[in-house]
Amino acid sequence: MTPLTLIHRPRRNRRSAAIRALMAETHLSPAQLVWPVFIHDAADSVDIPSLPGIKRFTVSDLLRECETLRKLNVSAIALFPAVEPALKDADGREALNPDNLVNRAIRELKKHFPDLALIADVALDPYTTHGHDGLLGADGDVANDATVAALTVMARRQAEAGIDYVAPSDMMDGRVGAIRRALDADGHTSTGLIAYAAKFASAYYGPFRDAVGSHRQRGDYLDKRTYQLNPANAREAVRDALLDEAEGADALMVKPAGLYLDILAKLRAKTLLPLSAYQTSGEYAQIHAAADRGWLDLAAARDESLLAIKRAGADFILTYFAKSYAENYKS
């Protein structure tokens, strides 16, 4: 057969593993991953059925896990509490307690792992009986300004405990600026702020809500569409994110990650801030479910999903795969 007369043969750059590594445009390492962890005040750590391989940890067990994470070069975790029902109320007052579970965990973690970066969620949904991310107004909707006032106190308590980054995930208007001003007024000028800048009203949060116990109200999944973003809207997402930047965010986040790679790419073109993405519990669970049925290769699907998020523009990724990816990472 007569060879084609081609000047350009792109396959030359894919000929071997060594050449493919040399030509790779996107690189992902464990140091760019954040492991979201759930903690509770029970006697033992327990499995979360809807999140295979993920537990609700006791603080003592989490300390042991962090020893492993540091050896694996995972340098950050994000803390989420599963609050005892007796501590919940309509106003989420336990969130403002200086000695609540998260704040005690922050102090313990910083005492044992001062070089581990800690991120704390700033939202009321784990603490409220209704499961919403804020305080309800007379009309039954989440009241923006009253919620911002409560979140500001919550963030101040986390800063006092020694957190590296507060991460407001509630999507209230103006909360980034209010929290930044309050932290600075208290002298916590070194405490960072990662804004959930483009958090969508997604169907992919179910396992997370199971994990923190905020998943249902009167038997139905909660409707958070008056404060979380419409999945149809890209321009609105960019606008919200740029408002958070203007209010003083140190990094911006997109959540979910895999279904919103276009948002990541758009934001990457608009901001010089560090950009992150949260691969949600639903994204993680669906990959596991397909792999359990033999429809996907778990490790390959995991790695491809993370690489896609990085390629779209994320500097770091919150993912429940952080530990397993690090365990199998080959530099």
Each residue's pLDDT tens digit, 274-295: 999 999 999 999 999 999 999 9
Instruction: Tell me the pLDDT tens digit for each residue of 244-267.
Output: 999 999 999 999 999 999 999 999
Of 255, 266, 310, 323, which one is the catalytic site residue?
255
Lowest mean pLDDT among 202-211, 236-245, 290-299: 202-211
pLDDT above 70 covers a percentage of the chain that reads 98
Domain 27-327 has CATH 3.40.30.10: no
β-pair type (33-39, 55-57): parallel
Average pLDDT, the chain: 96
Helix spans in the chain (H): 17-23, 59-71, 101-112, 144-161, 175-185, 206-212, 234-246, 261-270, 281-292, 298-312, 322-327
Tell whether the model's pLDDT for residue 96 goes beyond 70: yes
- Dist CA 215 CA 223 (whole Å): 10
- Dist CA 124 CA 60 (whole Å): 24
Whether 270 sits among the annotated catalytic residues: the reply is: no
- Dist CA 252 CA 2 (whole Å): 54
Tell whether the model's pLDDT for residue 105 goes beyond 70: yes
Three-class DSSP category at 318? strand
**pLDDT band (50, 70, 90) for residue 215:** low
Tell whether the model's pLDDT for residue 219 goes beyond 90: no
Tell whether the model's pLDDT for residue 209 goes beyond 50: yes
- Residue 254 carries which side chain, given as an amino acid letter? V
* Phi/psi at 308 (5° precision): -65, -40
57-69: average pLDDT? 97
Whether 323 sits among the annotated catalytic residues: the reply is: no
**pLDDT band (50, 70, 90) for residue 218:** very low
Domain boundaries, the chain: 27-327
Residues in Cβ contact with 235 at an 8 Å cutoff, skipping those fewer than 6 apart: none
Of 55, 88, 199, 266, which one is the catalytic site residue?
199
Torsion of CA 153, 115, 252, 280, to 10 degrees: -90
Whether the predicted model's global pTM rises above the 0.85 cut: yes
**Burial group, residue 300, by CB count within 10 angstroms (0-12, 13-18, 19+):** exposed
Instruction: Tell me the pLDDT tens digit for each residue of 134-156.
Output: 999 999 999 999 999 999 999 99
- Residue 295 carries which side chain, given as an amino acid letter? W
